[in-house]
Each structure stands twice: as C-alpha cells, then as structure tokens.
Amino acid sequence: MSTDTTTEPAQVPAGPGDQSRRSGLPSWAVQGLVSLSAILLALLVGAVLIIIGDDQVKAALGYFGAAPMDTFSAAFSAVGNAYKALAVGALGGVTPITESLTAATPLICGGLAVSLAFRTGLFNIGAQGQLIVGAILAAWVGFAWHLPPGIHLIAAILAGLVGGAIWGGVVGLLKARTGAHEVIVTIMLNYVAIYLLQWLLTTTTFKRPGREDPISPIVDANAQYPQFGSTRLHVGFFLALAAAAFVWWLLNRSTIGFELRAVGANADASRTAGMSVGRAYFIAMLVAGALAGLAGSQQVLGTDLPLTDGVAASVGFDSITVALLGRGTPLGTVLAGLLFGALNAGGLQMQLQTQTPLTLTTVLQAVIVLFVAAPALVRSVFRFLPKERGVGAVLAKGWNG
C-alpha cells in the first residue's frame, strides 16, 4: 500500500477559459474561497435533507396540485427555522459562544495532531488512541496526586502530553525502524487504547470507591483547568491556540520543521540530501501524539473531570475531518475546529427547537469535507471561483503546501 500523500499536482495546460478565472490572489485565499463555497454547498445539501424529513412539507405535498405554494412555504419555513436555531445555538449570546469554543478546544488540538503528521507525509489515524492515553495519565495525576495549586495542573497537563507522545512515538518508531504502515498501526493502537481504558476503569487504582460502574474519582480542583465565570469555557482553549502557534513556528520557522516539510514533500530527495527520514517520522509522530494528549487533558481536566470510557467521544476521529477541512495548516485547523465546535453546540439547540435530528450536523461536517476534498466539483458549481496561480487542472494535491 502506498504511503505517499504528497504527490505533486499533475498539471494540464490551461485554456483561455481557465485564464479568465485566474487571479492574483495568493493560494491560501483561493483555498479559503473554495472552503467557504464547500460550506455553502453543504448547507444546501442539509436544506434538502431538512425538507425531505419535515412532516409539514410531507403534509403539504399531499395537496400540492391544489395549493403548490403551501409546499414551498413549508419547505422555506423548515429550513429557515432549523438553520436559525443552529445559528442561535452556536452564536446567539455569551453562553452559546462559550459552548462553541469549549466544543472546539479538543478538536483544534486533535486536528493539529493530524495536520502535523500530514505535513510530514504521514496519515495519523490514531489521534483517538493518543487522546485516550493522554486522558488516562492526566486523570490519574489529577485524582491520585495531591499537589499545590498551579503545580498540580501543570503536572497533570504534562502527564497528558507524555501519554499522547508515547502512544504517537511508538508509531513513529515502528515507521522509522521497520517501515510499518502508520495507518494500520494507528488504527490498531486505537483499539488497544480503548480496551486499556475500559480495563483500567475496573481496577482499584482507577475505579471510584463505592461505585461499580466504570468511572474514576473526580480530579482535584487544583488539577482542573480554570473556567471563565459560570461558563464551561476554560483555559484549555487558549492552550489550543498556543499549540497552533507552536505548530506554525515549528513548521515554518525551525530547522526541524523544514526537515519535516521536506520529508513530507519528497522523502527520497530528503534522504539524498542527507536528512534522516526516520528521525523526521519519529519526531512528527511524537509531537503529534503530544498534541492529541493535550486534547485528552482538556477533556478530562476541563469538561468531563472524571475519567470514563466515553471520555474521547468521537473527538479523535472528528479531528481527522478538521485537519482535512483546514488543509493541513495551523490557521486552517483552528478555523475548522471553531466551525465544527459551533456545529456541535448549535446542533443541540436545533434539535430542541425544531426536532431536527442532531445527526444532521454530522452529515453537514461530512459533506463539507467531501466538497473540500473535491475542489474541481466545487468550481464546477461556482464557476466564478479563481484558480491558483500557475496551476491548471489539479488532478492530485498533497498536504505539504
């Protein structure tokens, strides 16, 4: 199985029609327009699904021949009410905004873990497992150790970073030493982490005294992320932004980052130039695992507090879609994480007010990524979108920029 995710774009000579759509915009701006167009198309697909599932629309269809406008009115009303509730639930006040930011926090860190591996030519499917192991160690330090304020939180966060780094570093080491495929290894380690967590919650070390269900003691107050007022938003959100800034610096301003990007662009050429490809793989997965472990600490020290077998939820897998939507860049990953956090927070309000299934937000996320992964399809719908300078028809594009 090929592991090359950084194939150079195959170019086809541009015709006169292509030249008319080419602009002087930088590539990141063009990619941003394509992503925004993909979001709009996803909302249109969601609108169709809302109309199909709405009872009032179905009832109006029963007498469509007698009063066709009733069907259109019911359709517009169903879509408008659903998306209004989604927007209000995500951005309609201080509490919705903080809930959106809280939901986005682990997604940003998990997305960075996937993005960093992308830029090194690796496909990190193991953010879920790395997050779980980070949460295990962070929670254990949080409830088993009793340290002074400040020190306890720092120790718990570092434990989460170490846990994720170990789980990711194993993948990088196997890739560097044996050539083991990182996709297979990370998928298998996800299962190992999940069942390890389930087993630990049955032991006396992790099981809460007096409880038979799989739940740990609540982490000490000294080990919890400080929250803002009466909201659930905690300091972990700003750590996520700091992590994004660190990844940007690492990739664009450091010697190690240059090697990571070079290996991601062309491992054979990097090896010929004297770079250690195995070292780059190991470092990339080590740091990626630490970022996912940070997401785990945000879950167990910021929002959930006790450790349960559902602490990771689907954050690790959602992080893959966040990285894809963010096109493997730190800024794009932050913006994608904020969008998905808003969809997750607003989806609850949409379900409560309009009875629209919460799973619609999952469909929207999937469709957004589908369109982002197929920019040619988006451009075929929005023909006014400009092309990137110097590129005709892009048949394949890697993640290394």
pLDDT at 351 over 90: no
Give the closest residue to 3 by CA, choosing from 255, 251, 186, 250. Answer: 186
Residues 6 or more apart from 154 whose CB is under 8 A from it? none
Backbone angles phi, psi at 149, to 5 degrees: -55, 145
Mean pLDDT within 303-315: 89
Identify the pLDDT of residue 114: 96
Cβ burial, residue 88 (10 Å; 0-12/13-18/19+):
middle
Identify the pLDDT of residue 22: 56
Structure tokens that stand for 21 in this block: 């759509």
pLDDT at 144 over 50: yes
pLDDT at 20 over 70: no
* Residues constituting the chain: 401
> Which residue would you say has higher pLDDT here, 132 or 55?
132
pLDDT at 319 over 50: yes
Mean pLDDT within 352-375: 82
pLDDT bucket at 107, cuts 50 / 70 / 90: very high
Identify the pLDDT of residue 148: 94
Mean pLDDT within 232-252: 96
- List the single range of 152-166, 167-181, 235-249, 309-323 with lowest mean pLDDT: 309-323
Identify the pLDDT of residue 66: 86
Identify the pLDDT of residue 388: 61
Q: pLDDT by residue (tens digit) across 196-240?
A: 999 999 999 999 988 888 999 999 999 999 999 888 999 999 999
- List the single range of 68-77, 241-250, 389-398 with lowest mean pLDDT: 389-398
pLDDT at 270 over 60: yes
Q: What percent of the chain has pLDDT over 70?
A: 90
pLDDT at 101 over 50: yes
DSSP collapsed to 3 states, 21-88: HECCCCHHHHHHHHHHHHHHHHHHHHHHHHHHHCHHHHHHHCCCCCCHHHHHHHHHHHHHHHHHHHHH
Could you tell me the residue ranges of all domains in the chain?
A: 92-354
Provide the CATH topology of domain 92-354. Answer: ABC transporter involved in vitamin B12 uptake, BtuC (1.10.3470)
Structure tokens that stand for 223 in this block: 């080990």
Identify the pLDDT of residue 389: 56
pLDDT bucket at 366, cuts 50 / 70 / 90: confident
Mean pLDDT within 296-311: 92
- List the single range of 63-67, 240-244, 268-272 with lowest mean pLDDT: 63-67
Mean pLDDT within 122-150: 95
Identify the pLDDT of residue 376: 81
Cβ burial, residue 108 (10 Å; 0-12/13-18/19+):
buried
The Cα angle at residue 205 between residues 201 and 210, in degrees rounded to 5: 75
Q: pLDDT by residue (tens digit) across 371-396?
A: 877 778 888 888 777 776 544 433 33
- List the single range of 38-47, 103-112, 314-323, 354-363 with lowest mean pLDDT: 354-363
pLDDT bucket at 324, cuts 50 / 70 / 90: confident
Identify the pLDDT of residue 6: 43
Identify the pLDDT of residue 401: 45
Q: What spatial distance separates the first Cα and last Cα of the chain, rounded to whole Å?
A: 23
Mean pLDDT within 54-74: 88
pLDDT bucket at 354, cuts 50 / 70 / 90: confident
pLDDT bucket at 399, cuts 50 / 70 / 90: very low
The residue behind tokens 């080590």 is: 286
pLDDT bucket at 36, cuts 50 / 70 / 90: confident
Mean pLDDT, all residues of the chain: 87
> Which residue would you say has higher pLDDT here, 293 or 18?
293
